[in-house]
Amino acid sequence: MSENESQGGYVRKVRNDTRKYIQDLLNENERLRVLATSLEQEQTHTVGSLRRQVEQLRQELEQNKSEENRLKMHLAETQEENRRFFEQYAEVEQENSNLANLYVASYRLHGTLDRRQVLEVIQEIVINLIGSEEMGIFEMEEDGSSLRLISSFGIDPEPLKMVPLGRGAIGASAQSGEVAIWSRADSSDGEQGLTACVPLKLDGRVTGVIAIFGLLPQKPDLGPLDHELLDLLATHAATALYCTSLHAKTTSPAGVVA
């Protein structure tokens, strides 16, 4: 074999090897391109899926927050409703307790004909149920011209021994037959801090007055239940005092009530 032929064969071999190498590179490049396209598509799909999941989670989070807020509002409403029920229950319990105490006190009022004991029971009712340790109990004179102080507690009795009918808040209440009540902020009574004047009535006729002055510190003002208690007390007290008067007249040799 000549030298030229040898050189020609080597050149062809190099050319063939080069072509094969280039083809291999092209094939590898195509494989990598296809792989890259596949990976890109897979990445796009994955990113889209993740975005959808994130959006779904965001929506679920918003729904959960909305539900949480709704539950918090419902809980607050429930707690407020429970608080109102508890307050109403406490008020009912207090009312029942007061009515039970009034029943016991009324029983005591009508369970004796001793005038002193009746006056003591009236004072106990005002102190324990109404919440005042300053009071005066007045009885109408037979001629109806004035009120006579027959019992007092926590006040100076001297200025109130005799109260002419129609004079001042006490006399006016006896004359009108109407209950008069003032709040702590109301100074229009003009009679040493009066809180209430309660006429004692028997068959529609005023037989006396219970005057209540200052309330205990823990009691700001008289409430609706106190008004009912005063109305009940007025009727029972009037009856009890009238009975003691009749008893005294029938048992006293002189027929005079002390």
Tens digit of each residue's pLDDT (9 = 90 or more) over 94-123: 778 777 777 777 787 788 888 898 999 899
pLDDT tens for 60-84 read: 888 998 898 999 999 899 899 889 9
CA 24 to CA 31: how far, in whole Å? 10
Average pLDDT, the chain: 84
The residue behind tokens 């890259």 is: 36
pLDDT for 2 equals 59
- Which of 34, 241, 54 is closest to 140 using CA atoms? 241
Cα atoms in the Cβ-side hemisphere of radius 13 Å centred on 200? 20
